[in-house]
Amino acid sequence: SFADLAEKLMPSVVNIASTQTIKTTSNPFKNFQFPPGSPFEDMFKEFNRPTERKATALGSGFIIDQKGIVVTNNHVIQGAEDIIVSVNGSTEYKAKVIGTDPYMDLAILQIESNEKFAAVSFGDSDKARIGDWVIAIGNPFGFGGTVTSGIISSRNRDIGLTRYDDFIQTDASINVGNSGGPLFNLNGEVIGINTAIIAPGSSGSIGIGFAIPSNPASKVISQLIKYGETKRGWLGVRIQEVTKEIAEVEKLEKPEGALVASVAEKSPADKGGIKAGDIILEFDGKKVDTMRTLPKLVAETEVGKRVKVKVWRNQKLISKNVTLGRLESSDEFKAETKTDPD
């Protein structure tokens, strides 16, 4: 039974209620016209006052430090004015935001209390295998402390949700309110952060849930705790997929790597001698099997690191040395574009 494990982990999983004020202005008489100075004019102005209502979002989170540091999804607390965290389903605490990362949909909160809390630790998500048992604990539909179990159904899923999609797919029931909650392995380690579900027609869980893997998440989390923001590596290239046709023309054995469509002026790639038309096959010793792999590899590499980039140019493999910049301070990053900046 999962009972012993669930009992041990439950005190570290929290329910999160975030409140924000939504302002609306509605006037049922907006289509009526009154002559200037009409006594009705002032009367109907009364109806044009903005009204405010409080909207509450429910989610989950988990404690990773006994000082009360909580991990959750950014979308759970985005725009929140008040955040209430309840531990063990009973005690409520106020919490403040330490840092957020909308690009991986992560947020770090600090419970405003001097108490010591039960914390959980991260496992190695790279060792998680398809078919491994997992359990999810969270606050679906406001039912706090709900435990569900399942297996890892797939890994490295790209569902087009975030800039760095690399989800673990699970059939453990995940519903609205589970967002930000932990996905545990049988050692009681967090190997994923439950983030999204596929629910046709809002039917709730149909056994296809997605969790951010703990390895890339924990790198971002430690940056948010340390700096209050993220510091991702930046290469400065726009990339596109290497199709079968491109591979044939370029005399590549198979379609792989990332084709450089353009290089930003004075970017690390530009200074390192990478050119449009190059196909990046290896970055910092790691293979770039598809276009989507490159942004993840670059983002996870520390700013200022000198890395070797292997590119296919003129039907030859050549190496370039590039000193990475910081993504968040690049002009490309600030200007929203349709292709994936990297």
- Of the chain, the percentage scoring pLDDT greater than 70 comes to 88
Q: For strand 106-111 and strand 167-170, is the pairing parallel, antiparallel, or unpaired? A: unpaired
Specify whether the CB–CB gap between 278 and 312 falls below 8 A.
yes
The structure tokens 């990046």 sit at 280
Q: Model-level pTM?
A: 0.80
The set of residues, in sequence order, having a beta carbon less than 8 Å from that of 59 and lying 6+ positions away, is: 15, 16, 18, 72, 73, 76, 77, 139, 177, 178, 179, 180, 181
Residue 268's pLDDT is 93
Which stretches in the chain have pLDDT values below 50? 336-341
DSSP state of 122: B
Just list the catalytic residues: 75, 105, 179
Alpha helices in the chain (DSSP H): 3-9, 39-45, 74-77, 214-227, 244-249, 268-271, 293-300, 331-334
Vertex 43 angle, CA 37 and 46, to 5°: 125
Residue 336's pLDDT is 45
Residue 126's pLDDT is 93
As to burial, measured by CB atoms within 10 angstroms (0-12 exposed, 13-18 middle, 19+ buried), residue 326 is: middle
Residue 309's pLDDT is 94
Distance CA 19, CA 175 (A): 20
